[in-house]
Chains A and B, each alone.
Chain A
Amino acid sequence: MVLVKLAISSLYNRRASVFLTLLTIAISVMLLLSIERVRVDAKSSFSNTISGTDLIVGARTGDIQLLLSSVFRIGHANNGVSWQSYQYIKQQRGVKWSIPLSLGDSHKGQAVLGTSADYFQHYKFAKKQPLSFSQGRPFQHLNEVVLGAQVAKSLGYSLGDSIIISHGMGNTSFHHHDDNPFTVVGVLNATGTPVDKTLHIPLAAIEQIHSTNHTSHEHEHEHEHEHEHEHEHEHEHEKPTDLIGNPKQITAFLIGFDSPLYTLQVRRNINQFKDEALLAIMPGVTLRELWEMLTIVEKILLLFSIVVVLVSLLGMLTTLLANLNQRRRELAILRSVGARPWHLFALISIESLLTTFLGCLAGCGLFYLLMALASGYLQSHAGITITIAMLSSYELMLIGAIMAAGFIVGLIPASRAYFYSLSDGMSIKI
């Protein structure tokens, strides 16, 4: 107890240099924890983005490019899938449901997705959770829009608001379709996936935005048969109930089968489809491939942060050793009042342990601060949902490892103190 008190007083006495040592340790701990947390959360965000979908079909590009453009809204597909091909494939044996996706438009920087009402029924994320509404209902008319949670929150929209969809991506579109206002009829619950950042409108409305003759006012009749969109073969463009329309092409579509056994067979058929160069991917497999690509980056980051931790501990070692020479008098005084060599060993060990402990503590504080500050940015720019939760057991283990490393590093000056105290004895040599 005396030793702990002595160590604390001694550290406090040298607070300026101790503070700097502490800061370097804290920053390294923060880096390590942040990289670890972002890695884990990025992984779960990625793998939670889509589930329950057996195939994603788009124009032939790379597997990962298709996944990124169709699910993550990152980049865009150069080509689309022709409507005919989609019609043909969705009638294959075993296809339980299909969702057409049409991307490429935006509203104030947020992606606009043209789709069918099936989307709200069959699109699933995380552990096969369906989308749910926090307010309102799915779209039933051409001029209705359903917002992702993030869109509603960041742009401050609520039910009944009227918004304008512009053509093309980005905040500053060259031409706004001022005469095509959409009414917000539904807001989805947060999912932690790109769905949160998406505005969902009927597929037919996409086409309408792009067409020059504005006939939107004709679609504003009330009617109850929203299920009619399942009968796409009716292709009656002027019929207000038709939310699908008859587009020339769509960006991609999702397929769910009656049984997963169909997946490989249909996938092969699509990849060898003669009329059009198409690509079908299994989202789970491609997500894993994507993740494996990222693991190299992640490992390099982890390596760097471990090096930063080591450098900070070496910094502590340098300070401790440099101070020790000046502290030989102190050691002799302690010896003179009856402290044994191992007391001095313990004193220096406690000092290094306390420094690393406080450094780790401060590092955790900085880590939470950084996560709180960065979570919004990561969510909106990288689609990574950061969980500001307690430290995981792995993170605690990392901190434990740093503490252990700090303790081991501290043994070097501690053992020097031990031997100084034996050789110097009572004579103060400095």
Chain B
Amino acid sequence: MMIDIKQLSFKWQKHQIKPTLAIASLEVIKGEHVFLHGPSGCGKSTLLALLAGINQPTSGTLKILDCELNQLSNSKRDAFRADHIGYIFQNFNLLPYLSPLENVTLGCQFSKLRQKKALTTSSSLHQEASRLLNALGLDEQFHQQNVANLSIGQQQRVAAARAFIGSPELIIADEPTSALDSNNRQAFIKLLFEQAQAANSTLVFVSHDDSLQPLFNRNIDLIALQEQV
């Protein structure tokens, strides 16, 4: 089991009457490509923060890879995230002062486990980063360029490569295609699928754009999910 949520509720403040997020049950098995959608303000970001171990549920359990996150200490949770989760942001994904290659290797700078995994496929981190960038369709000529000179689509490829390096079990993508046009969007999602398959990763893709639904093998409506409570 990749993600296992039971009776989870989350409140930003203690005395909040209605919880920001309440999920009775959610299970995602390994290797699934899940499309999580819902309108703005329905708690998508909150759920992602819980999945990434940034925030902790107010009640209920949340297990990732059979590990209960709220049982871990803060630093263990940070280490867990570094080891097992790759994260792709909506936009502004890259550190402007690092080259695309360095941005990618950053994905395993804080995790020994991911460094080790990355080195099983390539002889060096740079080589692995380069391989991933090529696989995601970013030509060699852009690998050392200033990230500011890359287009948004190219930047998202770099961000995806950073999430995939060291093959983390869970890839969380937070509206990564919202700045792309529909052609690029589909192409980018296909590349994500290919890489997720190759790395044997579970993909949780969050968006408010329902038109992407047909591409995924599982769709979850966050509003509907919460009404089960």
Contact = CB atoms under 8 A, between A and B. Distances in A.
Interface of A: 2, 6, 9-10, 12-14, 329-330, 332-340, 343, 425-428
B171 to A, nearest CB: 12
Interface stretch (B2-10, B22-30, B80-88, B133-141): B80-88
A69 to B, nearest CB: 63
Please classify the interface of chain A as helix (H, G, I), strand (E, B), loop, or mixed, using the class held by over half of its residues: helix
Nearest to B94: A333
Contacts of A339: 78, 82, 110
Contacts of A337: 82, 87, 106-107, 109-110, 162
A345 to B, nearest CB: 13
B75 A340 contact: yes
B49 A9 contact: no
B109 A2 contact: yes
Given A333-B93, A337-B87, A427 B107 contact: no
Contacts, number: 68
A423 to B, nearest CB: 10
A9 to B, nearest CB: 4
A6 B96 CA distance: 11
A-B pairs with lowest CB-CB distance, top 5: A338-B82, A13-B97, A338-B110, A425-B54, A336-B87
A425 B55 contact: yes
A340 B111 CA distance: 12
A14 B87 CA distance: 26
Interface in B35-56: 45, 48-49, 52, 54-55
B129 to A, nearest CB: 13
B174 interface: yes
Nearest to B55: A425
Contacts of A336: 52, 81, 87, 89
Contacts of A13: 96-97
Contacts of B93: 333
Contacts of A9: 95, 97-98, 102
Given A13-B97, A338-B111, A425-B54, 14 more contacts: A6-B95, A6-B98, A10-B95, A330-B95, A336-B52, A337-B109, A338-B79, A340-B75, A426-B48, A426-B52, A426-B54, A426-B174, A427-B45, A428-B89
Contacts of B55: 425
Nearest to A338: B82
B202 to A, nearest CB: 17
Given A427-B45, A428-B89, A333 B54 contact: no
A336 B97 CA distance: 17
A10 B97 contact: yes
A335 B54 contact: yes
Contacts of B78: 338-340
Nearest to B102: A9
24 contacts: A2-B109, A2-B110, A6-B98, A9-B98, A330-B95, A330-B96, A332-B89, A335-B54, A336-B81, A337-B162, A338-B81, A338-B110, A338-B111, A339-B82, A340-B75, A340-B78, A425-B49, A425-B52, A426-B45, A426-B49, A426-B54, A427-B45, A428-B90, A428-B92
Interface in B52-87: 52, 54-55, 74-75, 78-79, 81-83, 87
Nearest to A2: B109
A329 B92 CA distance: 7
A12 B97 contact: yes
